[in-house]
Amino acid sequence: MKRHIFLAVAFLFAGGTATVSAQQDTVHYSGKTLSNVDYHHGQLPLAVGVHAHQIMRASREHPEKADGFGWTYNHATNMAYWNGKFYVNYLSDPAGEHIPPSQTFLMHSEDGENWSFPEVAFPIYSIPDGYTKEGVAGVAKNLTATMHQRMGFYTSSDNRLFTLAFYGISMDEKDSPNDGKGIGRVIREIKKDGSLGPIYFIRYNHGWNEKNTNFPFYKKSKDRGLKKACEDILSQPLLMQQWVEEADRDDPLIPLKKQYKAFSYYHLPNGNVVGLWKHALTSLSKDDGKTWEYTPLRAPGFVNSNAKIWGQKTTDGRYATVYNPSEYRWPLAVSTSNDGVNYTDLLLVHGEITPMRYGGNYKSYGPQYVRGITENNGTPKDGNLWVSYSVNKEDIWVASIPVPVKSSVNKDVNDVFTNLENGKELDFWNVYNLSWASAKIENNNNEKTLTLRDHDPFDYARVERVIPFAQQMEAEFTVTPEQNNHGLLQVEFQNKTGLPSIRLVFDEEGVLKTKAGSRFRKIADYETGKTYTIKVILDTTSRSYTVTVNGGEASRQIFYAPADGIERIMFRTGEQRHFPTPDTPADREDYDDLPNTGLPIKEAVFHIKSLTTKKL
């Protein structure tokens, strides 16, 4: 009885007017973990082994390292896996949302870590001079289209891959291109050799047709397979539902015409479909999206604002949702379920917010607008849950979340990287790997190391290892710095929620030191190219620890913050960030860029040879 009341209240809060049947269950979160937005990581436990890769770092000053254009508004990713490769497309504008010109880029990768240079999949599109938009002031003159799409890929029944996009119209920076008054949706094939087929319109909005558009209608194609793929797309309500925001408001192919945004879905074992929209709205369909059992309501227990939520079945037969569990666009987290309805945990995927280097219209802080791989668009051979997203609507990222999704380990660490199986060295490490600050396994002097390289003035490389919970433990790690007069390496011992108690620092002046309250204490000097084996023995009950360097005399210290136990060890090539905060305005008053956005710094390199732990 209490549950049915809860559903009714949640439904009313979402603005619904219909009644949910007392027999109707819906997606809900029953876990107790909630995020704390005072921290970019939300104080969430890690999903073990997540690898987050920045695959396109925007740069106006160095377009040759970014996208070839130097555009700095990049957003709305979509993802597919086909023919042994990952694919991501995303839309891009020179500086800000809804400000043309606009185009859609395409990238691909064989391993999800090393990606191709972005290529234009859908180019800049010119609006006819003299065009006027109903309800919006102004007349088009030298105006180009603004791209907007929620669906990016389709794999056909004969195993051909197509990419899609939508050409909308923004008459000014506040005019939305997804108001049902755009031009139409386009499609083209991605071929096995990497080339792209011709562009066709698959669906026009009212007022547009073959006579006043720049690409032919798909029915004019002589490619029977393409025409069949288009007809198949148009016949599937679940695919059509993704088009609702851009399409004509009365498009007969879209079953649920209300403006519920950023639709994702998955099937349950009984054939029912769970639908998810922005604000964690949800509903259930028993006929593959032709009709919905109830007006979408806020999924009880879920916390989510106006960023996307992604849901899918995972390769272990369970289910996952990935979203920002807050009223902000941070952190990015994953929640899992045994049955696709009851979600029970909340774990961290991406807990960093790089500084927003470039100003722009409607740019938001944080890892956001997450999208995974839809049911018909492939299963990566590693079986992991892969998602794509943007950070600050500026840089493009992907993350691999190991399946099954776990938050803990039960074995002490014995990671001597040169002894570990090739390709498996970082299976239990969480990796934050950037274009200008990499975190990868490298070969150095005939041995494998986890190498952190950093020449990014705004961000840092970061790796973390979840360890068995311990109140008394011994940890030993070996580091070789390539310099001692610039760069920084911080090593932290943290609790389950990412709060540190011990911080050791290789600083910019050749000193290894430890944080002691608001001050630091010197442990030793360090030299370029010399290897340092550091042993830490700690006791959370007495808040004390000792540090030994290369077998020398132990230095006794006190935790700078208490902990109930240690469960994570972190290596980072920079100072922890705390901006933005929950009080930071959503929109910057100006579009000014940060100073020296295109200036790299001198590279600092640290080779981590090993990490071992022992519970005492």
Domain map of the chain by residue range?
A: 2-401, 414-615
Strands (E), 30-178: 51-56, 73-82, 85-93, 103-109, 119-122, 146-147, 153-155, 161-168
Residues 6+ apart with CB under 8 A from 74: 56, 58, 67, 90, 91, 92, 105, 390, 393, 394, 395, 396
Tokens of 179: 């108001």
Span 97-112, pLDDT tens digits: 999 999 999 999 999 9
How big, in percent rounded to 5, are the helix, strand and coil portions of the chain?
Answer: 5, 40, 55
Determine the Cα–Cα distance for residues 464 and 227; give it in Å rounded to an integer: 49
Report DSSP letters for 230-298, one per residue: HHHHHT-HHHHHTTTTTS-TT-TT-S--S---S-EEEE-TTS-EEEEEGGGEEEEESSTTSS-SS--EE
Span 362-408, pLDDT tens digits: 999 999 999 999 999 999 999 999 999 999 999 999 999 999 999 99
Determine the Cα–Cα distance for residues 334 and 323; give it in Å rounded to an integer: 7
Question: Do residues 88 and 119 touch, judged by C-beta distance below 8 A?
Answer: no
pTM score, whole prediction: 0.95
Torsion of CA 15, 20, 25, 28, to 10 degrees: 10
CATH topology of domain 2-401: Neuraminidase (2.120.10)
pLDDT of residue 428: 98
The segments of the chain whose pLDDT lies below 70 read 1-24, 588-590
Residue with tokens 């990014």: 456
pLDDT of residue 24: 53
Determine the Cα–Cα distance for residues 417 and 414; give it in Å rounded to an integer: 9
Q: Which residues pair with 431 in a beta bridge?
A: 51, 463
Q: Is 414-615 CATH 3.90.79.10?
A: no
Tokens of 493: 């011992």
Please state, in angstroms and as integers, the Cα–Cα distance from residue 79 to each residue in 69, 396, 428, 442, following that order.
Answer: 22, 12, 24, 28
Strands 28-29 and 342-343 come out as: parallel
Mark out the alpha helices in 162-220 (DSSP H runs). none
pLDDT of residue 592: 87
pLDDT of residue 25: 81
pLDDT of residue 587: 72
Strands 519-525 and 511-516 come out as: antiparallel
Per-residue buried b or exposed e for 506-544, using 16+ beta carbons within 10 Å of the residue's own CB: bbeebebbbbeeeebeebbebeeeeebebbbbbebeebe
Element (H, E) at 458: none
